[in-house]
Amino acid sequence: MKKVLTGNFAAAYGATAARVNVIAAYPITPQTTIVEILSEIVANGELKAEFVKVESEHSALAACIGAQAVGARTFTATSAQGLALMHELIHWSARARLPIVMANVNRAMAPGWSIWADATDSISERDTGWMQIYCENNQEVFDSILMSYKIGENPDIMLPTLVNLDAFFLSHTSQVVDLYSPEEIDAFLPSYKPEHILDPDKPSSFGALTSPEHYYEFSYKIQKAHEEAKKVIQTVAGEFQKTFGRFYGLVDPYRCEDAECVLVCYGTIAGTAKEAVDALRETGVKAGVLRIRYFRPFPGEEIRRILEHVPKVGVIDRSISYGNRGPFFTETRDCLSGVQAGLYGFIAGLGGRDVSLKDIQGMVDIMRKDTPNPLIWIGVKDVC
């Protein structure tokens, strides 16, 4: 079945298709319609699930933690300040190895108050242990929800996932989305049956005091799970392609094979970048795009393999690590250390500022003519 859906509706339909057992809901613009449509789906009897209305985003994730700990498949959604309010429990849920899936509508952090796209909110959570996906379109939002449960619930992984979609560029923009039959989805994504749960008949402890004797090893195991997740992601991507006809790996290369300059990006900017590259190719400029889907685990090996022979590489960040550089730039630079000297770091689109074809083509022009620069602000207005 094909439906015309906003990104928010695609996320809600993805959670429904995954047959989640518990939904924790708290509104925040521009995420609110995700939980609104889910409330209607549950109320109409289309999904047998507990819909829990809570008093804050912190409580929303707390509800998911409790439900997941007793063996329920859980879902929630948030954005910006809401994600920041969850920060304590973002850490807790990852260290408890609970494969919760949460849709985050990327929105700029306040102040000034903004409801427009910016990835700084999710980037702020990069060191918590959650896996992170950045979606290019609404079909990918729907598909990523399904895949995230299958990957996160793998007994060798058992980690939560943040599925990120750009505010308004996806959340409130309608696109055609393929929805799959329940039989196909059930065959791809079986019910959640964790090995360890809170069970009065089998008493056990979760999240108790841990001495230095064991805490270190718990951290080591989370790191090893992220490393193993790269293999699981590729395996699940192959299964998904076989079942539904679409492939989603750790990265998405576009016209990189013979490229002399490649733009690395993520989220909806990638779609604009691909169009810009097509136009540049018609003029004889050998440009390419490498979209990073997973920021955690970071696909360093894949990036290095694709880009190590590319003369010039530019990274577009819709976020900024204040006092340093763009976060995707610094991590890309790290994995290209020793093989790539011509690196350019572009900051663009903060606070939902449009990133146009002209902007992208301008970045390629800078890469072709100017010396490498790790911090280039695109489109800054003279406000002084």
Please list the residues that pair with 166 across neighbouring strands: 106
Distance CA 78, CA 84 (A): 10
CA distances, 231 to each of 1, 53, 111, 151 (Å): 31, 37, 40, 10
Residue with tokens 């304590």: 88
* DSSP letter string, 134-176: E-SSHHHHHHHHHHHHHHHTSTTT---EEEEEETTTTTT-EEE
Class assignment of domain 2-244? alpha beta
What confidence score (pLDDT) does residue 206 get?
80
**What is the dihedral sign for C-alpha 101, 241, 263, 344?**
positive
Rounded CA separation 351/152 (Å): 31
Please, are residues 290 and 251 in contact by the beta-carbon 8 Å criterion?
Answer: yes
Q: What are the distances in angstroms from CA 350 to CA 119, 224, 272?
A: 8, 33, 16
267, 136 in Cβ contact below 8 A? yes
Distance of alpha carbon 81 from alpha carbon 153, whole angstroms: 28
Helix (H) or strand (E) holding 265: strand 261-265
Distance CA 213, CA 137 (A): 45
Q: What is the pLDDT of residues 2-15, one digit of tens each?
A: 999 999 999 999 99
Please state which architecture CATH assigns to domain 251-377.
3-Layer(aba) Sandwich (3.40)
Residue 168 phi, psi dihedral angles, 5° rounding: 70, -45
Query: Is 191 within 8 Å of 48 (Cβ atoms)?
Result: no
- Distance linking the first and last C-alpha atoms of the chain: 53
Express each pLDDT in 94-148 by its tens digit. 999 999 999 999 999 999 999 999 999 999 999 999 999 999 999 999 999 999 9
- CB of 263 closer than 8 Å to CB of 360: yes
Angle between helical axes of 138-152 and 7-17 (0-180°, round to 10): 30
The DSSP string of 331-342 is HHHHHTTTT---
Fold match flag (2-244 vs 251-377): yes
- Tell me, what's the pLDDT at 208? 87
The domains of the chain are located at 2-244, 251-377
Burial 6-18 (b: 16+ CB within 10 A, else e): bbbbbbbbbbbbb
Q: What is the pLDDT along the chain (384 residues), one digit of tens a residue?
A: 999 999 999 999 999 999 999 999 999 999 999 999 999 999 999 999 999 999 999 999 999 999 999 999 999 999 999 999 999 999 999 999 999 999 999 999 999 999 999 999 999 999 999 999 999 999 999 999 999 999 999 999 999 999 999 999 999 999 999 999 999 999 999 999 999 999 999 888 888 899 999 999 999 999 999 999 999 999 999 999 999 999 999 999 999 999 999 999 999 999 999 999 999 999 999 999 999 999 999 999 999 999 999 999 999 999 999 999 999 999 999 999 988 778 999 999 999 999 999 999 999 999 999 999 999 999 999 875
Query: Is 14 within 8 Å of 150 (Cβ atoms)?
Result: no
Nearest to 23 by CA among 59, 74, 62: 74
289 three-state secondary structure: strand
pLDDT at 282 (0 to 100): 97
| Helix or strand (DSSP H, E) at 23 | strand 22-25
Long-range contacts, stretch 355-360, CB < 8 angstroms, 24+ apart: 355/269, 355/272, 355/316, 355/318, 356/272, 357/272, 357/275, 357/276, 357/279, 360/263, 360/272, 360/273, 360/276, 360/277, 360/316
